[in-house]
Amino acid sequence: MRKLIIGFAALAICLLGVASVNMESWAAGADWTMSPVKAVERYKDKGSLHSPYDKDYEKVADEGHKIYMGLSCNGCHGGGGGGGMCPPLTNSVWVYGKDDDTLFRLVTLGSQALQDQYGMKRVGSENVVGPMPAMGPSIKTSDDLWKIIAWIRSVNPSSVPGGKSNVPPPPTFD
């Protein structure tokens, strides 16, 4: 009888462990098949979206670049992320911030909705300024957007916590 009770206790502990892992993954945005728009609707709280590739972003960077090019992000930000008619993705200036949640929401909702819905203000300034359109409806899955963000991190070391950019910030004209 004692072995049976110990067996049930061990099973219960294992099941609780599996459930807690799944809950944490879900909270970290693990439903990667969900569209970015649905992810932002589900995870309303600022700071609740986290990249599944934060530790190994380089592994999916090439795939992210292909998605970036396929969505014509290069039309505004350049093929290598160096900018054009919109801010570059390769220097140390992050207009709204560089954390996973901010980048995911910015690309999904666009800059105006980011300001309106979350009260976010510009924390950086670029010489080339243009509003970011809402790209969320054009991106098939949250996983695709996380891969684009992984590519951005691969071309811009300053986007990684503790990283520094190889590209100097733009000059300011006062």
The pLDDT of residue 115? 93
Per-residue pLDDT of the chain (174 residues; tens, 9 = 90+): 666 555 545 444 544 444 443 333 334 546 789 999 999 999 999 999 999 998 889 999 999 999 999 999 999 999 999 988 888 999 888 889 899 999 999 999 999 999 999 998 888 777 777 889 999 999 999 999 999 999 999 999 778 766 554 545 555 555
Using alpha carbons, list the distances in angstroms from residue 71 to 57, 111, 153.
Answer: 20, 18, 18
For the chain, helix, strand, coil in percent to 5 are: 50, 0, 50
Tokens for 72, please give them: 């014509």
The pLDDT of residue 114? 93
Q: For 145-167, how does the pLDDT look when each residue is reduced to its tens digit (9 = 90+)?
A: 999 999 999 999 778 766 554 54
Using alpha carbons, list the distances in angstroms from residue 160 to 11, 48, 50, 74, 86.
Answer: 40, 18, 13, 21, 21
Question: Domain 31-159, what architecture?
Answer: Orthogonal Bundle (1.10)
Q: For 49-77, how does the pLDDT look when each residue is reduced to its tens digit (9 = 90+)?
A: 999 998 889 999 999 999 999 999 999 99
**C-alpha torsion angle, residues 113, 117, 118, 119 (rounded to 10):** 90
In angstroms, rounded to a whole number, what is the distance separating the alpha carbons of residues 54 and 69? Answer: 21
Burial class (CB in 10 A: 0-12, 13-18, 19+), 160: middle
